[in-house]
Amino acid sequence: MEEGMTLPTGAVQTIPARSGIAARVKKDQFIKVINTHGTQVVDAWAFNALDLTEWMSMEASRASFMKLAAAVGDTFVTNQRKPILTLVEDTSRCAHDTLMAPCDRWRYGLLGVEGYHDNCRDNLHSALANLGVVIRATPPSLNLFMNIPWTADGELAWGEPVSTPGSYVRFRAEMDLVVAFSACPQDILPINGVTGTTTDAHFSVE
């Protein structure tokens, strides 16, 4: 896709397995992210198209909707507390994780991987580079379909997705955006279903 190009309305785009893709979205458009094969975590980020230092903030969003995970009707906000994405529909039955960092090369090193491993952090920056966009930090990601259960004592665990093939989330863009998605290449822990499985996912802008 050419730099700065807006997606054709409604076109379904592939988020290739273990890889990332970014797109420009206009205010009031809807973004649908589809868990095509049912068990793929998709890390998501959103940036103000006019100021790339303003991004969707998990820590400000939790303080806004006062939950660990958003429900339909909840709005994510930026690091300037402005509405950026509203969750308007969700057929996945998932509590989309807001707590965990996107995976990165160091994470895989700690998990015993030698040499390079695809990772969501690098996927984000590569996807943005394909749009001609550079950011100077890696914001915490919204981890779509990712199942991180918590206990009353605050213990966390790595769960498998509870979504089903073709289930999706739909967001309304509350400002002109750059969005980025990474089909998480985590194949050491079972967060993408049966350990070792990583698949494509899809999204559309309407």
Q: Is 101 a binder of its own copies (CB under 8 A)?
A: yes
Ramachandran angles phi, psi of 133, nearest 5°: -115, 135
**Chosen residue from 5, 12, 50, 68 binding its own copies by CB under 8 A:** 68
Q: State the nearest-atom distance from the C-beta of 152 to its own copies, in Å.
A: 5
Residues 6+ apart with CB under 8 A from 136: 53
In whole angstroms, how large is the CA radius of gyration of the chain?
Answer: 16
Q: Is 52 a binder of its own copies (CB under 8 A)?
A: no
Instruction: Confirm if 44 and 181 have CB atoms less than 8 A apart.
Output: yes
Please give the DSSP secondary-structure letter assigned to residue 23. E
Please report how many Cα atoms fall inside a 13 Å half-sphere around the Cα of residue 99, on the Cβ side.
Answer: 15
**Chosen residue from 29, 40, 57, 123 binding its own copies by CB under 8 A:** 57
**Chosen residue from 33, 41, 58, 87 binding its own copies by CB under 8 A:** 58
Q: How many residues bind its own copies (CB under 8 A)?
A: 35
Q: Is 162 a binder of its own copies (CB under 8 A)?
A: no
> CA–CA separation, 83 vs 74, rounded Å?
10
Name the site residues for its own copies (rule: CB under 8 A): 53, 57-60, 62-63, 66-69, 79-82, 95, 99-101, 104, 106-107, 109-110, 136-138, 140, 150-152, 154-157
